[in-house]
Structure 1
Amino acid sequence: MVRSNQKTTQKREREEDADPTEHSAELVILKPQGYPLSSMLDEYPEIDNAEVFEHYARKQWNGLVVNEGEYLFDRRMYPDFAYKIIEVVPPASSIGIKTTIVINDEEKVLNIPGLKSDVTFEDVVGQSSARQKCKLIERFLEEPEKFGKWAPRNILFFGPSGTGKTMLAKALANKTEVPLLPIKATQLIGEFVGEGSRHIHQLYERAEEMQPCIIFIDELDAIALDRRNQELRGDVAEIVNALLTEMDGIVERRGVCTIAATNRPNSLDPAVRSRFEEEIEFALPDEQNRYLIIEKNINTFPLPVKDIDMKKIAKLTEGLSGRDIVEKVLKTALHQAIMNDEEVISHDYFDSVISKLTKKGDTAALDRLYI
């Protein structure tokens, strides 16, 4: 008799664990709603362990087809307590043993305002090849209806930090008078499982509302590293899958162009990298462009300069990006002169800053520091 009861219990557990449909939901987000009839004696379930609740929820609702806006009722520990279904991915699918079930008390929404840029192409010194390749994106954003299925939808900007990737995206938005939705990849990582993928879909829905529009994802490698290097980063797998879904155009987003930026292109997951139709390289400035960067920025100094050898500065800053020249050389020299109550800035200040960066004349140190 005991063995019979054990077999019955084991059979019931196997049936509860079985996934009755191949169309199981990947994600279900619930929001506590309370009891249909309130009472002073009603207990309100407090969830201290999300993982335990998720297992409990899958057990009791396994096989149930769910839709956004409907309600689920607890029938075990807190009978008749209601949870509203905030989101189901994909829609109208069933809860299975692998469904991620999340309780969201505050239903967070990714809020990224569209940026109107005042950066122009003239502000991006050098990068003539990148600027030339961006003409196609420019044409598309100006007349997206003409491109149809041939639209440039996914573009990868790659190159060392500080070489103008973000600036060129802003210049594109300014030239074509379209909104720019800039976001760092790390902003897409949520606090709980399932939130990250929802952020991706919210981002693209927002862009579609504003189309034509540019989505600019900076530091893409923060979420899209080669999966062979992600054994400890399972939390971002869902974000990558959601991003691939959007980039593949399964849900067509007319007039939306995704530009992603990275300084580590070879570390990207091949599945993600293959989705980019065009890869545009940004290079460190050569001596002539370093001179132009120095000249352009020195002319905006709040103090006058005296006897400055800009050609020498350009030569000594080999290996630095445009941003490093501005932030680590020009700004540092200016600040030192101001702190010393100087009325004009002499060349000595620039020599002092560069010598510290190059470690007493070791020009190769620049390459080690900034590339």
Structure 2
Amino acid sequence: MKHNNITNDPIVSEKKTSAGLEDSGKETKMVVLQSIGYPFLCNLVENPKIEIFDNELFELYAREQWVGYKVKEGSFLFDQKLLPDFAFKVIKAHPDDSRITKNTSILLMEVEEVREIKKIESNLKITDVIGQERAKTKCKIITRYLQEPESFQEWAPNNVLFHGTPGTGKTMLAKSLSNELQVPLFLVKATSLIGEHVGDGARQIHELFEAAVACSPSVIFIDEIDAIGLDRRYQSLRGDVSEVVNALLTEMDGINPNLGVVTIGATNNPQLLDYALRSRFEEEIEFVLPDKNERRQILEMYVNSMPLPVDQDLGKLAHLSRGMSGRDIKDRLLKVALHKAISEDKDVVTMEDFHYALKHYKKETNEPKGMFA
């Protein structure tokens, strides 16, 4: 039986209203789809594999037939043109339970593609990051944005630069933010973004951001970003990675709607970054070496989990570890001293073991001779 009730047609309904949003009250900014196939035909028809060679063309094609449709995460859209009744599952919609308009960005992405981009899970909390109070305070804007990205619009903290001495908690803070807010963290080393063939690097950048958008709100953490974003004066030292940097700049500029995604770059040497890249960061957050009280807190945190007890006043160790980062205290003071004690069949870690660790640390870092006096 043929139905002529056109008021139920979402496209016609959208045309009949001034903005097409009266029914839902919300406009879909971005929708991510996964191709499903023909769910009602079971094994009678082989599901074709959808390969998109031109994302902009697919977006135009999709919008033309689905403008006015209400989308909700977990719901389905059905093709009515080239592949009638072919199903697409909505795996992400910004905002959820909203209506597609001519301004909606539509992305087709297979779940496998998202899984290929490694998401980091952590049980770290903000309180596990000792010190760095100024950095934590500045990160409140990131927290607020990830909790309610829709309310920020053009005021979003899209790109933030963490910089400072190695081992001071840059990665730890990113992990703790992700864990406490329960949002995915995509942590990558900048050097891993350089592909073997022309175009590989740029593709990896775009796939990284597509995966982050599909799981948004989310955080992208690019460690050692200076490895690809060196000032032009030093570019000959690292080879040509201009395609990677250009792709990264495109994503950071917001040409693609990366709603609910915060990109954090981390470097020990911000002064080496190319100006074009550094200028994209709206906020720079410095991480500093811990003071004596913070070093004592770090020592207390790690000593409690050591397999041997420590026979030494932690206040004295906090004084002797002046100039060390949190990572140095764990890996180059406590761990070295612990290993020495175990190798000598001791039941406790003594001051002799710590002096041994400090001596080797001083030798490796060329600290002034009187530092550990």
**TM bracket, shorter-chain basis:** 0.5 to 0.7
CA-CA distance at 1:292 after TM superposition: 1.1
How far apart, CA to CA, are the structure 1 residues paired with 2:238 and 2:333?
A: 37
- Greater alpha carbon shift after TM alignment, 352-361 vs 239-248: 352-361
CA-CA distance at 1:173 after TM superposition: 0.3
Matched ranges for 1:295-334 at <5 A:
295-306=300-311, 308-334=312-338
1:23-77 per-residue CA deviation (whole Å, 9 max, x = no partner) reads xxxxxxxxxxxxxxxxxxxxxxxxxxxxxxxxxxxxxxxxxxxxxxxxxxxxxxx
CA-CA distance at 1:344 after TM superposition: 1.8
Matched ranges for 1:224-243 at <5 A:
224-231=229-236, 233-243=238-248
Match of 2:353 in 1: 349
Match of 2:274 in 1: 269
**Matched residue type, 1:283:** V
How far apart, CA to CA, are the structure 2 residues paired with 1:123 and 1:230?
A: 37
How far apart, CA to CA, are the structure 2 residues paired with 1:234 and 1:323?
A: 30
The one of 139, 144, 153 aligned to 1:148? 153
Q: Does 1:220 align with 2:202?
A: no
How far apart, CA to CA, are the structure 1 residues paired with 2:239 and 2:257?
A: 28
The one of 267, 290, 295 aligned to 2:295? 290
Change (3 A) 1:353 1:231: closer
How far apart, CA to CA, are the structure 1 residues paired with 2:182 and 2:146?
A: 9
CA-CA distance at 1:87 after TM superposition: 5.3
CA-CA distance at 1:330 after TM superposition: 0.2
Match of 1:257 in 2: 262
1:244-275 per-residue CA deviation (whole Å, 9 max, x = no partner) reads 00000011111111011000100000000000
- Greater alpha carbon shift after TM alignment, 202-211 vs 230-239: 230-239
How far apart, CA to CA, are the structure 2 residues paired with 1:193 and 1:226?
A: 21
Change (3 A) 1:267 1:209: same
1:328-353 per-residue CA deviation (whole Å, 9 max, x = no partner) reads 01011111111111112222211221
Greater Cα radius of gyration, structure 1 or 2: 1
Match of 2:284 in 1: 279
Match of 2:42 in 1: none
1:266-324 per-residue CA deviation (whole Å, 9 max, x = no partner) reads 00000000000000000011111111111111111111222x02222212222211101
Match of 1:117 in 2: 122
- Greater alpha carbon shift after TM alignment, 173-182 vs 293-302: 293-302
Q: Does 1:209 align with 2:214?
A: yes
Give yes or no for contact 1:316–1:363 (8 Å, CA) kept in 2: no
Change (3 A) 1:197 1:363: closer
How far apart, CA to CA, are the structure 2 residues paired with 1:128 and 1:337?
A: 35
Change (3 A) 1:125 1:91: same
How far apart, CA to CA, are the structure 2 residues paired with 1:244 and 1:251?
A: 11
Change (3 A) 1:330 1:227: same
**Matched residue type, 1:256:** V
Give yes or no for contact 1:330–1:350 (8 Å, CA) kept in 2: yes
Change (3 A) 1:285 1:91: farther
Change (3 A) 1:143 1:320: same
**Matched residue type, 2:317:** I
How far apart, CA to CA, are the structure 2 residues paired with 1:145 and 1:206?
A: 19
Matched ranges for 1:49-88 at <5 A:
none
Root-mean-square deviation over aligned CA pairs:
2.5
Match of 1:338 in 2: 342
CA-CA distance at 1:149 after TM superposition: 1.5
Give yes or no for contact 1:303–1:344 (8 Å, CA) kept in 2: yes
**Matched residue type, 1:194:** G
CA-CA distance at 1:150 after TM superposition: 1.0
1:126-170 per-residue CA deviation (whole Å, 9 max, x = no partner) reads 100000100110111111111112111000000011000000000
How far apart, CA to CA, are the structure 2 residues paired with 1:185 and 1:144?
A: 26
* 3-state SS, counterpart of residue 326 of structure 1: helix
How far apart, CA to CA, are the structure 2 residues paired with 1:128 and 1:246?
A: 30
**Matched residue type, 1:354:** L
Q: Does 1:164 align with 2:164?
A: no
Q: TM (normalized to structure 2)?
A: 0.67
Change (3 A) 1:365 1:184: farther
Match of 2:201 in 1: 196
CA-CA distance at 1:233 after TM superposition: 4.3
Match of 2:362 in 1: 358
Aligned length: 267
How far apart, CA to CA, are the structure 2 residues paired with 1:363 and 1:189?
A: 35
Give yes or no for contact 2:191–2:227 (8 Å, CA) kept in 1: yes
How far apart, CA to CA, are the structure 2 residues paired with 1:360 and 1:226?
A: 29
Change (3 A) 1:172 1:322: same
Change (3 A) 1:222 1:361: closer
